[in-house]
Structure 1
Amino acid sequence: MLVVFDDPMTKDQHLLSPPVARAQGFYFYDMKTTFNAWFAYTLVFNSSDYKGTLNIMGADMMMEKTRDLSVVGGTGDFFMARGIATFQTMTMEGAKYFRLKMDIKLYECY
């Protein structure tokens, strides 16, 4: 199953909080025996604080408490960004709805 998404990203876990970015991309389930997915998406920032994008991709082993995906690039304020996005599942209701907590650490590369 392939899922395409365009979801708001907020600083806290409340759906009605003002978005700081949008997550736009896709994921597909890639295992027959467990819930694992492969993600490729872009965080699009368009606020007074940040402008630009962060590109994130990698395998999401959903049954693990925390998972790391790679930050593979960016534009604008995040030009050529590299780092790690750590996921933690906050809420899951089947395969169609889940809420993730994401902690992003960017590294300085010269």
Structure 2
Amino acid sequence: MSLADQADRVGRVQGWYGNCGQSTLTLCLAQTFAYNDSVYAGTLSLLGSGVASDPVKYAPIVGGTGDFAFCRGVAEQSRVFNAIVNSEENSWFHYNITLKY
């Protein structure tokens, strides 16, 4: 069973990382979380940066759509697992998202 087949899936995330540091590997993060479960439907957008070697990174929630329209908050990201899949490095992350709206 793949992660996508699990029954507790409530949405998906798409995004982009890029280096925005001059002397330290600093990641620029742009991500959109899309939710569609029995309670909420809509998207959350993150835009931030953090030093790649930090165990926990924080990114501001800059808006959303649907049930999350005009929301603000912060997302705390920590890496859970790294693996090589089909000759590509993949990482799994845990997010703790706090919203105000």
The answer for the alignment partner of 2:55 in structure 1 is 65
Q: Say yes or no: does 1:54 pair with 2:44.
A: yes
2:96 pairs with 1:103? yes
Q: What is the count of residue pairs matched by the alignment?
A: 95
Structure 2, unmatched stretches of 5+, are none
Give the aligned residue type for 2:100. Y
CA distance in 2, matches of 1:71, 1:39: 11
User: What is the identity, as a one-letter code, of the residue corresponding to 2:50?
Assistant: D
- Which residue number corresponds to residue 70 of structure 2? 80
d(CA) in 1 for partners of 2:30 and 2:47?
4
SS in 2 for 1:96: strand
TM-score by length of 2: 0.78
Aligned-pair identity in percent equals 29
Aligned-pair distance for 1:61?
Answer: 2.1
Rg larger for: 2
Amino acid at match of 2:6: S
Cα distance in 2 between the residues matched to 1:102 and 1:24: 14
- Unaligned runs of 5+ residues in structure 1 are 1-13
Question: 1:15-54 alignment to 2 at 5 Å?
Answer: 15=3, 16-18=5-7, 19-31=9-21, 34-54=24-44
Within 2, Cα distance between the matches of 1:31 and 1:78? 31
Which deviates further from its counterpart, 72-81 or 24-33? 24-33
Which residue identity does 1:107 align to in structure 2? K
State the TM-score, normalizing by the size of structure 1. 0.73
Distance 2:39 2:51 in 1: 32
Structure 2 letter corresponding to 1:98: S
